[in-house]
Amino acid sequence: MSSTTQPDREQASFAETALRLGGKSEEEARRTGTLDRADELVEKLFAPQYQTANSPVHKAVWDGKAPLDLFTPPRLPESAPCDAAMQKSLDVVRRHREAGTLFDDQRKISNTVLHDLAEAGYWGMLIDPQYGGQGAPFARFSRFLTRIATFDPTVAGLASVHGCIGAVDPVRTFGTPEQKARLLPKLASGQSLSGFALTEPCAGSDLTALRTTATLDGDHYEVNGEKLFITNAVPGRTIGLVVVLDGKPAVLIADLPPEENEQFHLRRYGLYALKHTHNNGLVFNRFRVPRENLLRPPVGDGLTIAYHGLNLGRLALCATAAGSMRVMLANMLPWVEFRRTYGQPIATRELVKRRIARLAALIAGADALVAWGSKLIDLGYRGELECIVAKIFGSEAQKEAAIELFMKTHGGRSFLHGHLFGDNVHEFLAPCIYEGEGEVLGLAFFKSLVKEHGKAFFEPIGKAVQREGIKDFNPANPRHAWALRKELAAYSRWWAGQRFGGYQKQQVSGMDARLADHLAFAQELLGSFPLEISGVLRKHQLKLADRQCRMAELSQRVQDAIILVVTALWGHEQRDPVAVAAADLLCQDLRRKVTGQRPTDRYFRDAAALADMIIGGGFQSLAGVPHQEILMKYENR
Ligand SMILES: Cc1cc2nc3c(=O)[nH]c(=O)nc-3n(C[C@H](O)[C@H](O)[C@H](O)COP(=O)(O)OP(=O)(O)OC[C@H]3O[C@@H](n4cnc5c(N)ncnc54)[C@H](O)[C@@H]3O)c2cc1C
C-alpha cells in the first residue's frame, strides 16, 4: 500500500506518532497509522454519542462513574415480525438433524438444508423487509443464533458469515440505493449466499500487508491475487472481496463463477476446523468484477467496511459459543448420572459438580455479554470495545468448557469417534483465532481504550519533547519540567482530579446481596484503572508498543471488570435462582482471577449447590437442547 505523504503525517494517529518518536521503523509506524486511520474513520460513521469515547466501557473506565443504564439490557419484546421466520428456520434445522440429513456426502451442510433455510427466510434475517428480509433487531438475531447453535453450530456460523462479515452487512451499511436494490433481494432470498474474503497468505493479523489488487479496465475491475481461509467460498457464492485499489483497501462484491476457470480457482487444503462447511483459498488471475460492485463508504476505505462487519461477527461468535456450551452441558448431565465410580454416580462428586457449575457460569457470562452488546448495536453504538470483550470471552469460555470441563468429565470416551468432544475439538478451538486472535484483539482493546487519554495528555508531551530536542525525558529534571510546564500542568490537573476525586459507586435497588457485592467490587476496580493505565503510559512512554505483555495483562483485567458489571446486572434481571447462582459463580471466579485469592470453602459449596440445582433440572437455559446417546453404555449394577 502507499507510502506516507505529508498530509498523512499531519493526520498521524497517537500510536503512529508514538512509534515514530519511539524510534520504530518508518514502515511499522506507517502501517500502524493506516489501521488506526481506518479505525478512526469507522468512528466517523457514528454520531458522537455512539462513538468509542462515549461507549459504556470507555465511560466506565474514564468518567469516574459507570453508566449502569447502558449496562442493563432491557427484556426483548414478547414478539417481533421476524419470529415466524426464526421459528421456521429452527424447525428446518431440528428436522434435518433428527432425520440425519444435515450433511451431504462430503459431510458438509447439504444444499437441501441451505435451500430449506432459504425458504424459511433464514438468510435475510438482518435485511430490511423492503428488500425481502426479516429486519430482525440484532438482539433478537443473536439470541436466535444461540438457539440455532444448540441444533447445529455450523448452521449458526453460516448465518453470521453471510449476515455479519459476508456481503449482507457491507451492502446494507455501505451500498448505494442502487446497489441495495440490486444485491440485497438476492442475499435475502438465499439465491446468493456469501462470505468475506479478507485474509491472504501474507496478511492475517497484519491487514496492512494485503497484496490482492484490483485495477479498473473499462467497466470492470480486474483482480489479481490470492485469499486464504475463506469460509463459505465455493464456486457460485458471492463474496465481499477486499482488494488494494489505487493503493488503498477497497471492497468489491464479487459473484464467484459457477465453475472454476482460468480467472478463478480454489486452493484446496485439509482443514480440521469448520469441517461441515467449505473453507478454501481463492486464486484470482485477471478475475473480472463489474465496476458497479465497488462499495464506497462515505468515509474511509475497505478496512472501514471490514471492521464494521467484524464487530457484529464477534458478537455472533459469542452467541454461537453460548449455544455450543449449552450442548456440552446438556451432554454432561445424563453422563454424570450414568457413570458410577466406587459405587456412586460421578454426579455426586465435588470435582464434577464444580465443572458443571463452572460451565453454567460460562453460559451465563456469554448470554449476558451477547444481550448487552447486541442491545448497544441496536441502539446505534459502534460497540467496538464491547464486541471485543464478547468475542474474547466467548471463544476462551468455549475452549475452557470443551477441554477443562467437558473432555475431562467424559474421560476416555471423549476420544471415541462419534463423541461430541472428539468429533468437534477443532470446532471448539478455532473461534480463538478467527475474527481476530484473542490476545491480539486484547491489545487492540487496550489501544482503543487509551487513545483519548493518550491524545489529550501524552501526545502533547511527546511532541513538546521533540520540539525541545530532549533526548531522555525526565520530569524530575528541572530544565525538562520548565520546558514542558504547560503540557505537564494539564496532566497534573487531570492526575490530581483522579487521585482525590474518587469513583462514584452506584447501587441497584432490590439486587441480590451477592450480585450487589460483585457490582460494588467491579466499580471499585474500574475506579482504579485510570491512574494505573496512565501510570503504565508514563512509565513506558514511547516504548509502550514493546510492552505487549503489560498491555495484554491490563487489558484483560479491564475486560474482567466489565464482565463482572455486565454479568451481575444480567443476573439481577433474570430473577431466576439458577441464573442468579450461575452469575454469582462467574463473578466469584472473575474476582479471584483479578485478586489472585484462593477459592474459599464457601465458593466450593456454592458451586456444588448450583450443580445440584442443574442436575435436578433447574437450568432453564437447557430447555429443548438435544443430547446424544451415551457411548459404550454398559449395565450399571
Ligand atoms: C476456521 C477458520 C475460518 C476462517 N474464516 C475466514 C474468513 O471467512 N474470511 C477471512 O478473511 N479470514 C478467515 N480466517 C482467517 C482468520 O481470520 C485468520 O486466521 C486470523 O485473523 C489470524 O491471522 P493468521 O492466521 O494469518 O495469523 P498470523 O497473522 O500468522 O498470526 C499468528 C499469530 O501470531 C501472533 N501475532 C501476529 N501479529 C502479532 C503482533 N503484532 N503482536 C503480537 N503477536 C502477534 C498472534 O498470536 C497470531 O495469532 C479463518 C481462519 C480459520 C482458522
Number of C-alpha atoms within 13 angstroms, CB side, residue 606? 22
Region of 293 (left: φ > 0; alpha: ψ -120 to 50; beta: rest) is alpha
CA dihedral 367, 373, 379, 384 (to 10 degrees): -170
Per residue in 158-216, pLDDT (tens digit) is 999 999 999 999 999 999 999 999 999 999 999 999 999 999 999 999 988 999 999 99
Cα–Cα dist 44/61, whole Å: 22
Per-residue pLDDT at 409: 98
- Best probe residue, ligand 1, of 108, 162, 168, 199 (max atoms within 8 Å of C-beta): 199
Q: Which atom of ligand 1 is the closest one to the Cα of 227?
A: 11
CA distance 395 to 439: 11
**SS3 state at 473:** coil
List of residues 6+ apart from 364 with CB closer than 8 A: 567, 570, 571, 579, 582, 583, 585, 586
- pLDDT digit string (tens) for 506-527? 999 999 999 999 999 999 999 9
Give me ligand 1 centre to Cα 200, in Å: 10
Which amino acid, one-letter code, is at 471?
K
Q: Which atom of ligand 1 is nearest to the CA of 203?
A: 26
Tell me what pLDDT residue 470 has.
86
Would you say 368 and 375 are in contact if contact means Cβ atoms under 8 Å apart?
Answer: no
Q: How far is ligand 1, taken at its centre, from the CA of residue 317, in Å?
A: 15
pLDDT in tens, 242-252: 999 999 999 99
**Is the CB of residue 519 less than 8 Å from the CB of residue 54?**
no
pLDDT one-digit tens code per residue, 123-150: 999 999 999 999 999 999 999 999 999 9
Residue with cell 467491579: 522
Q: Whose CA is nearest to atom 51 of ligand 1?
A: 434
Residue written as grid cell 453454567: 360
Q: Nearest Cα to 375, choosing from 361, 390, 363, 360? A: 390
Lowest mean pLDDT among 17-31, 129-143, 181-195, 620-634: 17-31
pLDDT digit string, tens, across residues 267-278: 999 999 999 999
Q: What is the DSSP string of 474-533?
A: -TTSHHHHHHTHHHHHHHHHHHHHHHHH-------TT--HHHHHHHHHHHHHHHHHHHHH
C-beta neighbour count of 520 within 10 angstroms = 14
Note the pLDDT of residue 27: 80
Is 199 in a helix, a strand, or coil? coil
Q: Output the pLDDT for position 20.
A: 74
* pLDDT tens per residue across span 214-261: 999 999 999 999 999 999 999 999 999 999 999 999 999 999 999 999
Nearest CA owner, ligand 1 atom 44: 440
Residue 89 and residue 83: Cα distance in Å, rounded? Answer: 10
| DSSP H/E element including 308 | helix 302-338
d(CA 244, CA 249): 4
Residue 9's pLDDT is what?
Answer: 53
Q: State the pLDDT confidence band at 410, using cuts at 50, 70 and 90.
A: very high
| CA of residue 338 to ligand 1 center, whole Å | 41
CA pair distance 621, 583, nearest whole angstrom: 13
Could you tell me the three cell numbers for 471? 533526548
Q: Ligand 1 mean position to 520 CA, how many Å? A: 37
And the C-alpha cell for 261?
476457470
Do 435 and 195 meet the contact criterion of CB atoms below 8 Å apart?
A: no
Mutate-to-test residue for ligand 1 from 434, 544, 553, highest number of ligand atoms within 8 A of CB: 434
Q: Which residues contact 484 (CB under 8 A, 6 or more apart)?
A: 461, 464, 465, 468, 473, 475
Residue 31 parent element (H or E): helix 26-44
Q: What percent of the chain has pLDDT over 90?
A: 85
- If you take atom 34 of ligand 1, which residue's CA is the nearest one? 205
Query: How many angstroms separate the alpha carbon of residue 439 from the centre of ligand 1?
Result: 11
Assign 11 a pLDDT band (cuts: 50, 70, 90).
low
With cell 520504530, the residue in question is 24
d(CA 420, CA 579): 25
Overall average pLDDT of the 594-622 stretch:
97
Question: Left, alpha or beta for 135 (phi > 0: left; psi -120 to 50: alpha)?
Answer: left
All three cell numbers of 345, joined, read 454416580
Cell triple for 344? 456412586
Helix or strand or coil: residue 259?
A: coil
Distance 620 CA to ligand 1 centre (A): 36
Q: What is the pLDDT of residues 48-103, one digit of tens each?
A: 999 999 999 999 999 999 999 999 978 899 999 999 999 999 999 999 999 999 99
pLDDT value of position 32: 77
Q: Pick the residue whose CA is nearest to atom 16 on ligand 1.
A: 434
- For the four alpha carbons of 23, 24, 26 and 29, in that order, the dihedral sign comes to negative
Pairwise pLDDT comparison (404 vs 45), residue with the higher score: 404
> What is the percent of the chain where pLDDT is above 70?
98
Judge contact between 277 and 109, C-beta under 8 A: yes
Mean pLDDT score of the chain, rounded to an integer?
A: 94
At residue 6, does pLDDT exceed 80?
Answer: no
Mean pLDDT of 575-582: 94
Give the pLDDT of residue 1: 44
For the ranges 7-11, 403-407, 512-516, the lowest mean pLDDT is seen at 7-11
Q: What is the DSSP string of 80-123?
A: -TTHHHHHHHHHHHHHHHHHT-SB-TTSSBPHHHHHHHHHHTGG
Task: Give, in order, the Cα–Cα distances in Å from 202 to each of 5, 207, 209, 432.
Answer: 25, 9, 7, 20
Helix (H, G, I), strand (E, B) or coil at 238: strand
Handedness of CA 470, 474, 478, 484 (dihedral sign): positive
User: Of 24, 59, 62, which is closest to residue 532 (Cα–Cα)?
Assistant: 62
The alpha carbon of 224 and the centre of ligand 1 are apart by a number of angstroms equal to 22
Sequence-ordered list of residues with C-beta below 8 angstroms from that of 438, at least 6 positions apart, any chain: 391, 392, 395, 396, 432
C-alpha pair distances (Å), 383 with each of 136, 313, 322, 390: 18, 12, 19, 10
Instruction: Locate the ligand 1 atom nearest the alpha carbon of residue 205 and give its number.
Output: 29
Distance in Å, CA 436 to ligand 1 centroid: 6
Please determine, for residue 4, whether its predicted confidence score (pLDDT) is greater than 50.
Answer: no
Distance 384 CA to ligand 1 centre (A): 19
Q: Residue of the nearest CA to atom 19 in ligand 1?
A: 434
pLDDT digits (tens, 9 = 90+) for 535-558: 999 988 778 888 999 999 999 999
Residue 588 one-letter amino acid: Q
Atom 52 of ligand 1, nearest CA residue: 434
Pocket test for ligand 1, best of 239, 440, 547 (most atoms within 8 A of CB): 440
The pLDDT, as a whole number, for residue 546 is: 87
Please work out whether the CB of residue 441 comes within 6 Å of at least one atom of ligand 1.
no
What pLDDT digit, counting tens, does each position of 452-509 carry?
A: 999 899 888 888 888 888 878 888 899 999 999 999 999 999 999 999 998 999 999 9
What is the Å distance from ligand 1's center to 101 Cα?
A: 32
**Amino acid sitting at position 520:** A
Three-state SS sequence of 158-172:
HHHHHHHHCCHHHHH
* pLDDT at position 146: 98
In angstroms, the CA 481 to CA 490 distance is 13
Question: 164 with 171: CB under 8 angstroms?
Answer: no
